[in-house]
């Protein structure tokens, strides 16, 4: 966290999982290795480089403060 209490980019908890479903509006449903299911979107870095995420891909994601949402930061 920053000194003013705001979360800085990259400060979330990073976990790995497998994409189970592709949703509208560039959202994905990801099953974490621990069994939890998270809704995630693609990080800008991956989106700019035209990285395709398909169902079944292993990904690394960063959880937000709301643990049911996250951001995909890498395709493994």
Q: What is the pLDDT of residues 24-73, one digit of tens each?
A: 999 999 999 999 999 999 999 888 898 899 999 999 999 999 889 999 99
Kindly give the pairing relationship between strand 58-63 and strand 14-23. antiparallel
The span from the CA of 1 to the CA of 9, in Å, is 9
* DSSP letter, residue 49: T
Measured CA to CA in angstroms, residue 71 lies from 21, 58, 59 at distances of 15, 14, 10
Q: What is the pLDDT of residues 8-31, one digit of tens each?
A: 555 678 999 999 999 999 999 999
Domains, the chain, with CATH or none: 14-75 (2.40.50.140)
């Amino acid at each position: 966290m920053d000194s003013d209490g705001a979360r800085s980019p990259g400060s979330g908890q990073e976990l790995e999982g497998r994409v189970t479903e592709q949703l509208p509006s560039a959202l994905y449903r990801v099953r974490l290795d621990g069994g939890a299911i998270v809704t995630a979107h693609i990080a800008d870095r991956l989106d700019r480089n035209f990285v395709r995420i398909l169902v079944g891909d292993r990904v690394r994601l960063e959880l937000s403060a709301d643990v049911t949402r996250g951001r995909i930061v890498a395709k493994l």
